[in-house]
Amino acid sequence: MSESPELELQSRLGGGGGGGGDGEGERDEIKVDETNAETRNKSVEDRDGDGEGNGGSFCPFFRRVPLNEAVEELFALGKVACPVALTTLLYFSKTIISMLFLGHMDKAELAGGSLAVGFANVTGFSVMKGLCTGMDPICCQAFGARRWPVLSQTYIKTVILLLIATIPMALLWLNVEPVFHRLGQDRVISKIAKSYLVISLPELLTHANLIPLRTFLRTQGLNSPNTIIATCVSALHLPITYFLVTYLNLRVKGIALSSVIYSLNMNIGLWIYLIFSKAAIKPWVGATLGSIIHGWKPLLGLALPSVCQVCLEWWWYEIILFLSGLLPNPESCVAAMGILIQTTGTVYVFPFSLGLSISQRVGHELGAAHPARAQLAAMIGILIAVGYGISVFGLSVVLRYLWGKLYTTETQVLDLISSVLPIVGLAEIGNAPQTAACGGLTGSARPKVGVRINIAAFYLVGLPCSAVFAFKLKQGFQGLWMGLVAAQAACMSMMLYTLARTDWKHEAKRAEELTTAVGKRMIPLELTWLLDQTLILINY
């Protein structure tokens, strides 16, 4: 043969093959000419000198980076963040459609459906999402290091992990009615909520594959297929929901069933793409029974802290929502709090997407032993986030009297929203950079650091500040959100300090150790290539 099996496998799985319709053109910074990439990386490392090895500060690093390389990294991050942001908004539209249909039902169905949606997110989907975050740094770094079998092994292990996690979730959902009763919920509302959760049980199974599959493709730089499929599925979601809820008169059960169909359609669409694409690495290539049985420690070591990090921040907002019910005029406070939390969720889409793009870029560059490029990606991403946070603050001041009218006409609720919206915008100046910095920690496989920072910022700083401002200093509803400002400021400071002191060369060595530890039992590359060629002949 003219080239070795290793080169043949890399060229084909790494994006070789013609045809722009297969998605190979979507890889970000991976299909750039290797010689040019090495030259750019070397130039950054030469200017970075020893500052990278001792955890140098931001300013000296940026003074050594030419404008053209910073702009190049800016576009590389944008190519990842924009499709992810659009996909996230499309997923968010599913919840919006569900709430719109619930809003046209009676109070008991609205309360029961809303209770079930919140309970499913807190006890189910957020936990699964957190567990899946553990595969993110492994797959990103393995892809950067061109260790293709590690991606397949990690994907399969994560699916197994999430399937195991669905067992206690399903048992809880099946027996949730007594739990709601003990929490003081009305029996009619509890019964409606249980019916929603029981019908939603298949969605746990679909999410056990969907969340890892999306990560599996995204860490390869394949973002557009997910966006295109989500667009098609979201376009079908509204008529499907209308057919089930209104035409068949299934009411709350119809909303739950439409969500299951949405997730099932996403799975089908992504698997069709995966099977027929020439660009995507196939999860069934490079994984053996031995590789699946062994090497779980690195994944669990990242997944468990990651789920804690996600849940700690999620639960903080639930606690604040509960505290708002203890204020004078609790009905208006809770209603305003719900609208503002939904607003923060909408605003969070871009920092979340930017954090994922930073995680991907940092993971790829560390896996490829390019620590300076990883540092550059993290710093450019944080600067983008700072600009975004300032923009959101400005918009929150300008739109403070208009935003609430999109949701309600209640005067008291509107007054609360207009008084607090600038505070929410101020918190975003801290939230956006800390979310971006968290992406840098994820890409460098350091979720435990993020957990410690979240506990300190949200529970040792933010929650006490919210309680003191709201109840002790009599600031009421505004005081609760002042605590969020304190939490985000503390979180941003600690995240940025951690990244500023990061030894990126050491992180590159850790990336090599991590991918090696996960892939200890992987089959030789030559055998992987041989199996791949066999599959091609069989399909042919």
Domain boundaries, the chain: 71-518
Which two structure tokens, joined as six digits, stand for 383? 């600067």
Query: What pLDDT, on a 0 to 100 scale, did the predictor assign at position 62?
Result: 53
CA distances from 255 to 57, 111, 128, 275 (A): 51, 14, 21, 31
Specify whether the backbone of 369 is left (phi greater than 0), alpha (psi in -120 to 50) or beta.
left
End-to-end CA distance of the chain: give it in Å, rounded: 21
Tell me if 54 sits within 8 A of 194, measured CB to CB.
Answer: no
Query: What pLDDT, on a 0 to 100 scale, did the predictor assign at position 285?
Result: 74
Q: How many residues does the chain have?
A: 540
pLDDT tens digit sequence for 26-83: 444 444 444 444 445 555 444 444 444 444 455 555 556 677 777 888 888 888 888 8
Query: What pLDDT, on a 0 to 100 scale, did the predictor assign at position 208?
Result: 94
Query: What pLDDT, on a 0 to 100 scale, did the predictor assign at position 508?
Result: 85
Which two structure tokens, joined as six digits, stand for 538? 């069989």
- DSSP, res 501: T
Work out the burial of residue 331: count CB atoms within 10 Å of its CB; fewer than 13 is exposed, 13-18 middle, 19 or more buried: exposed
Q: Following DSSP, what letter does each residue of 154-197 receive, concatenated?
A: HHHHHHHHHHHHHHHHHHHHHTHHHHHHHTT--HHHHHHHHHHH
Residue type, 95: T
Tell me if 124 sits within 8 A of 257, measured CB to CB.
Answer: no
Closest CA to 281 of 389, 159, 154, 94: 154
pLDDT tens digit sequence for 345-400: 888 888 988 888 898 888 888 888 888 888 888 888 999 999 999 999 999 999 98
Query: What pLDDT, on a 0 to 100 scale, did the predictor assign at position 164?
Result: 94
Query: What pLDDT, on a 0 to 100 scale, did the predictor assign at position 61?
Result: 54
Confidence (pTM): 0.73
Work out the burial of residue 44: count CB atoms within 10 Å of its CB; fewer than 13 is exposed, 13-18 middle, 19 or more buried: buried
Indicate the SS3 state at residue 513: helix
pLDDT in 10s for each residue of the chain, 540 residues: 444 333 333 333 333 333 334 444 444 444 444 444 444 555 544 444 444 444 445 555 555 667 777 788 888 888 888 888 888 888 888 887 887 787 778 777 877 887 788 788 888 888 998 888 888 888 888 887 788 788 888 899 999 999 999 999 999 999 989 988 887 777 888 898 899 999 999 999 999 999 999 989 888 888 888 889 999 999 999 999 999 999 998 988 999 999 999 999 999 999 999 888 888 888 887 667 776 787 788 888 888 888 887 788 777 887 887 788 778 877 778 778 877 887 888 888 889 888 888 988 888 888 888 888 888 888 889 999 999 999 999 999 999 898 888 777 778 888 988 999 999 999 999 999 999 998 888 888 887 888 889 889 999 999 999 999 988 888 888 999 999 999 999 999 999 899 888 888 888 888 888 777 665 544 444 444 444 455 455 444
